[in-house]
């Protein structure tokens, strides 16, 4: 089997390669060539940790396996980041383990790639202003991936903890884009594309904030109880997601679904837009992509990075 250590990922995987891998696997999910296994996520009653598995099989991309890991809130005392994960790939022809790949940076890249794929396929034409809600670790990856998709001329941003906004300002400066910190009503009125990537448990972006033709990538909600958007906003938008069952149970759309403002049939898998089976934005004023994060995204980027690592002599081969 092959090992690709976490420290090698930054030198191997590019946002472009992550985008291509995630776009392809979303299409494979829509055409029935790939499916996700039920998610396991457990509070293990030790070190306040949340641990789990996200797995699946992509017949077209020949990726079978799982990402194992979770959230260890006390990791600072070990000099480690709180999110820890490893991807394990298996040979779909034999069942033998094929690779173990550091999953921390890959998680950030695949999450950013998902919102970027949604922007490519759903954003209003000529979108110029990118609005960022959230300024944590993921936000910089999100902004970088979004900036690659088109013609943004400016970034505006808001965060519940304003002292963190320097991350958005620094990232925008790095991308050569002007940045302005704004309040949410201005963000909702001016942004053509909005990315939300927070750990909020109450709606931040309200229906009344959002004006005109807008695409929203709601990326923070990946667990029951989390919430970033007003269900009334969800109720009036055209809705897309990575996986419908996950979006209405643990994703952003769980709240509008619970309030019966939407049903499963109102939500379209984005893969259908990628394959041309659905028109996408059409004449909708507001579109929302609920990025819940599926195991197949992890397998797709891990599969791509194993190939790159083998080509560049960075993969370590061991017998198991
Ligand atoms: P982080 O801890 O670095 O940053 C947290 C962000 O949320 C900051 O903007 C912070 O100000 C804000 N925040 C924290 N507590 C809040 C609260 N109670 N109410 C409102 N906002 C709050 O986290 P990160 O790594 O940037 O991840 C952000 C979110 O994205 C997390 O909730 C994480 O679980 C989620 N995530 C989703 C996916 C996916 O595939 N959808 C993948 C990775 C992470």
Residue 134 Cβ inside 6 Å of ligand 1? The answer reads yes
Tens digits of per-residue pLDDT, 21-62?
999 999 999 999 999 999 998 999 999 999 999 999 999 999
- Report the C-alpha gap between 172 and 5 in whole angstroms: 29
* Number of the ligand 1 atom closest to the C-alpha atom of 223: 34
Nearest Cα residue to 272 out of 104, 161, 117, 66: 117
pLDDT for 151 equals 85
Q: Answer positive or negative: Cα dihedral of 311, 315, 317, 320.
A: negative
pLDDT for 130 equals 98
Residue 160 Cβ inside 6 Å of ligand 1? The answer reads yes
pLDDT for 301 equals 97
ipTM above 0.95, yes or no: yes
Does the pTM of the predicted model rise above 0.90? yes
Nearest Cα residue to 159 out of 178, 127, 131: 131
**Sites in the chain below the pLDDT cut of 50:** none
Q: Which of 67, 125, 226, 261 is catalytic?
A: 67
Cα 95 to averaged position of ligand 1 atoms, centre (Å):
35
Tens digits of per-residue pLDDT, 154-186?
999 999 999 999 999 999 999 999 999 999 999
Asked if residues 147 and 130 have their Cβ atoms less than 8 Å apart, the reply is yes
């Amino acid at each position: 089997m092959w090992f690709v250590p976490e420290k090698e990922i930054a030198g191997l995987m590019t946002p472009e390669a992550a985008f291509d891998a995630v776009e392809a696997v979303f299409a494979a999910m829509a055409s029935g060539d790939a499916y996700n296994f039920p998610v396991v996520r457990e509070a293990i009653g030790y070190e306040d940790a949340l641990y789990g598995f996200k797995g699946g099989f992509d017949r077209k991309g020949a990726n079978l396996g799982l990402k194992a890991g979770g959230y260890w809130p006390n990791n600072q005392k070990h000099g480690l980041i709180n999110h820890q994960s490893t991807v394990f790939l298996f040979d779909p022809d034999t069942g033998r383990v094929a690779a173990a790949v550091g999953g921390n940076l890959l998680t950030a890249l695949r999450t950013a790639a998902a919102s970027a794929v949604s922007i490519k396929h759903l954003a209003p034409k000529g979108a110029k202003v990118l609005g960022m809600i959230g300024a944590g670790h993921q936000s910089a990856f999100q902004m970088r991936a979004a900036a690659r998709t088109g013609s943004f001329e400016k970034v505006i941003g808001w965060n519940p903890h304003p002292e963190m906004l320097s991350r958005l300002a620094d990232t925008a400066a790095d991308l050569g884009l002007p940045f302005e910190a704004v309040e949410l009503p201005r963000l909702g009125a001016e942004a053509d594309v909005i990315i939300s990537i927070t750990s909020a448990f109450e709606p931040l972006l309200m229906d009344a904030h959002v004006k005109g033709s807008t695409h929203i990538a709601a990326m923070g909600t990946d667990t029951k109880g989390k919430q970033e958007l007003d269900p009334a906003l969800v109720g009036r938008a055209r809705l897309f997601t990575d996986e419908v069952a996950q979006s209405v149970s643990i994703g952003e759309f769980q709240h509008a679904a619970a309030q019966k403002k939407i049903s499963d049939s109102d939500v379209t898998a984005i893969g259908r837009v990628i394959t041309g089976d659905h028109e996408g934005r059409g004449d909708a004023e507001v579109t929302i992509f609920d990025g819940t994060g599926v195991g197949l995204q992890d397998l797709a980027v891990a599969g791509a990075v194993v190939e790159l690592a083998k080509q560049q002599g960075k993969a370590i081969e061991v017998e198991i």
